[in-house]
Amino acid sequence: MPPVPSPPPHRRIAAALVLLAVAGLAGPATAQIRSIEEQRAGAWLYRAGQARERTACILETERPDGAVGGQVRLAILNQPFEFHLSLRDRRWRIPPGTTGLVRLEVEGYGTAPYHSTQRARQGGPDRIMVDLAENPQGAARILDALRHGRRLVATLPDGQAIAAPLGGTAALVGRLLDCFQRRILARQQRQPRPAMPRGGVSVTRGGTVSPPPAAPQPVARDPLGPSVPTAR
């Protein structure tokens, strides 16, 4: 029997992201990240960092301190698990609670550009953030596009765009994924599962073990409407 082909790398990463998104644990607040690994290529910088019990794997465009203009950052963190893309410009003054849609396009990716529309929120006075952990398949496709594309363009609702060349990112996306697998995923898998509390299961007369009925969960309502599908 011929060997079963392994799934493409971006699908394996998506599966790993699903595991962490489901099993994410609460942890300490974010502190200053101390870099322990760095590599540069083109306009991009990869770095891995540590802050007490929190680990970060980061890929970002380099911009000298105090410089104006757009910056792109991808960050994967644990405790709690986060994976987000952020866009920053020191000239921005974004009111708290602001949300909107951001269009991402990667030129030179295969036979047609990669493009998707993502819901973003204010992450600071000069930063907006897109949560990629909520859509592991979409996140894996973005990483694959960054790895093989030529140019990233992020367009904001007001028409303003942040562009970044992707020369050299193939190796750095590989470093980011390696950091995720070694420093975040492997550590999460080594953590013991929480013990089942007393009374957590019941046994019926027929010997069937069943969990207690789940408490009803509050319904989350998005004031902006339904999720926006990611399209290629």
The answer to the question of residue 203 being in a domain is no
The answer to the question of residue 205 being in a domain is no
Task: Give every CB contact of residue 196 below 8 A, 6+ residues apart in sequence.
Answer: none
Number of folded domains in the chain?
A: 1
The answer to the question of residue 221 being in a domain is no
The answer to the question of residue 120 being in a domain is yes
Residues 179-227 have pLDDT tens digits of 999 999 887 766 555 444 444 433 334 444 434 444 444 333 333 333 3
Is residue 150 within 8 A of residue 96, CB to CB? The reply is no
Whether pLDDT at 74 is above 70 = yes
Is residue 62 within 8 A of residue 172, CB to CB? The reply is no
The answer to the question of residue 228 being in a domain is no
Residues 100-140 have pLDDT tens digits of 999 999 999 888 889 999 999 999 999 999 999 988 999 99
The answer to the question of residue 176 being in a domain is yes
The answer to the question of residue 117 being in a domain is yes
Average the pLDDT over each of 20-24, 89-93, 210-214 and give the range with the smallest value: 20-24
Mean pLDDT of the chain: 75
Question: Where does the chain have alpha helices with state H?
Answer: 9-23, 136-148, 169-179, 186-190
Q: What is the pLDDT of residue 168?
A: 87
The answer to the question of residue 112 being in a domain is yes
User: How many Å from the N-terminal Cα to the C-terminal Cα in the chain?
Assistant: 35
Is residue 41 within 8 A of residue 168, CB to CB? The reply is yes
For residue 156, give its domain range. Answer: 9-190
Separation between Cα atoms, residue 94 and residue 168, nearest integer Å: 32
Q: CB neighbours (10 Å) of residue 143?
A: 25
Work out the pLDDT band at 68, boundaries 50, 70, 90: low
- Considering the entire predicted model, what is its pTM? 0.69
Residues 138-187 have pLDDT tens digits of 999 999 999 999 999 999 988 889 999 999 899 999 999 999 999 998 87
* CATH code of 184's domain: 2.60.40.1880
Q: Give the CA diameter of the chain.
A: 71
Separation between Cα atoms, residue 197 and residue 21, nearest integer Å: 23
Alpha-carbon dihedral of residues 75, 84, 188, 59, nearest 10 degrees? Answer: -20
